[in-house]
Amino acid sequence: EIVLTQSPATLSLSPGERATLSCRASQSVITYLAWYQQKPGQAPRLLIYDASKRATGTPARFSGSGSGTDFTLTISSLEPEDFAVYYCQQRTNWPSITFGQGTRLEIK
Amino acid sequence: QVTLRESGPALVKPTETLTLTCTFSGFSLTTRGVCVAWIRQAPGKAPEWLALIDWDDGKYYNTSLKTRLTISQAPSENQVVLTMTNMDPEDTATYYCARQPRFMEWSFDFWGQGIPVTVSS
C-alpha cells in the first residue's frame, strides 16, 4: 500500500499570505495525485487532480505541482474561506486508493 | 447536474450488517470510464477508501476490509449498494459515496453529503 505523508500537520497563516502544503508518497505515484479541501461538517471537495489540473470551480489562487513522490499544493494569497483541512489522495496501482492524513490550515 | 445521496441506518449494533444505498443522478454508471466509490471518514481522521464499482460491473475493494464488503448496483440503475458485515464500534464513521471518472484521472469529483453511522449496543 502506498502511504502518503502530509506536512505540516497544522499550518498557521494570516489572510493574504502564501500557503505551501506538502504531500510525500512512499513510492512513485507518477502524477496520479489529487488534492481535496474539507470544511467542518462537509464532504471533501476536489481542488486539483492529476497533480496540477484545477477542477471545475477551483479558484486560480490554488495550484498543484510535483511528480513521482513529492507534491505541493500552493495557495498564492489566502482568503478567509481557504482555512480548512486539506488532503492528498493517490490512485496508482489501480484500484488501490489512499489518502494522506491531512494538513489543517488555520488562521494565525 | 451531478448529485449523489447516501441513505441507510444511523445506528447499528456490533456484529450486525450495515447496508447503505447511494442514489445518484446526472450521470450513468453504464457510461464507459465512470465509477462510483464508497469512502468513510472516522471522526477526526482522514478519509478511507472502501470499494468501487465500475461501468462494466467490475468491483474492487480495500484489501484490509475485503472480506466484509460487498458493492453492487441496485436494479434501479441509479443506485449503488454497499454492505459491510460484522460491524464493530471502530467502524463508526461518516460514509460517503462519490463519483470517480476516468476523465478526472479517477479522482473523486462529486461527493454525497455523507451519512453518519454509529456502531453501538
Of A100, A106, A91, which is closest to residue B46 (Cα–Cα)?
A: A100
Which pLDDT band holds residue A94 (cuts at 50, 70, 90)?
confident
Q: At residue A93, does pLDDT exceed 80? A: no
- C-alpha A68 chain-centroid distance: 15
Could you say which residues from 59 to 88 on chain B have a Cβ atom under 8 Å away from some Cβ of chain A?
60, 62-63
> Looking at CA atoms only, how far is residue B21 from chain A in angstroms?
17
Q: Residue B3: its pLDDT value, please?
A: 98
Tens of each residue's pLDDT in chain B, 121 residues? 999 999 999 999 999 999 999 999 999 998 999 999 999 999 999 999 999 999 999 999 999 999 999 999 987 779 999 999 999 999 999 999 999 998 888 899 999 999 999 999 9
In sequence order, which residues have a C-beta less than 8 Å from that of residue A70 and are 6 or more positions away?
A: A22, A23, A24, A25
> Any chain A CB within 8 A of the CB of B108?
yes
- Residue of chain B whose alpha carbon sits nearest to that of A58: B109
Q: List all residues of chain A from 14 to 73 with a beta carbon under 8 Å from chain B.
A: 31-32, 34, 36, 42-46, 49-50, 53, 55
Given a contact cutoff of 8 angstroms between Cβ atoms, the answer to whether B24 and B108 are in contact is no
Q: Identify the closest residue of chain A to B64 by CA–CA distance.
A: A1
Who's near A71: CB < 8 A, 6+ residues apart? A22, A23, A24, A25, A33, A51, A64, A65, A88
Question: Is A46 within 8 Å of B112 when comparing Cβ atoms?
Answer: no
Residues A11-37, mean pLDDT to the nearest whole number: 97
Task: Give me the residue from B47, B96, B107 closest to A49, CB to CB.
Answer: B107
Q: What is the dihedral of CA A12, A16, A17, A21, to 10 degrees?
A: 70
Identify which of A61-70, A90-99, B100-109 has the greatest average pLDDT.
A61-70
- Which of A47, A97, A103, A104 would best serve as a mutation to test chain B binding (most B beta carbons within 10 A)? A97
Note the pLDDT of residue A83: 97
Average pLDDT of the residues in A54-81: 98
Whether B60 and A36 lie within 8 Å, measured CB to CB: no
* A3-7: average pLDDT: 97
Q: What is the pLDDT of residue B77?
A: 76
pLDDT, mean over chain A: 96
Is the CB of residue B47 less than 8 Å away from at least one CB of chain A? Answer: yes
What is the reported pLDDT for A5? Answer: 98
A53, A95, A98 member nearest B60 (Cβ) = A95
Higher pLDDT, B103 or A49: A49
Percent residues over pLDDT 90 in chain B: 90
pLDDT at A86: 98
Nearest to B46 among A50, A95, A100 (CB): A100
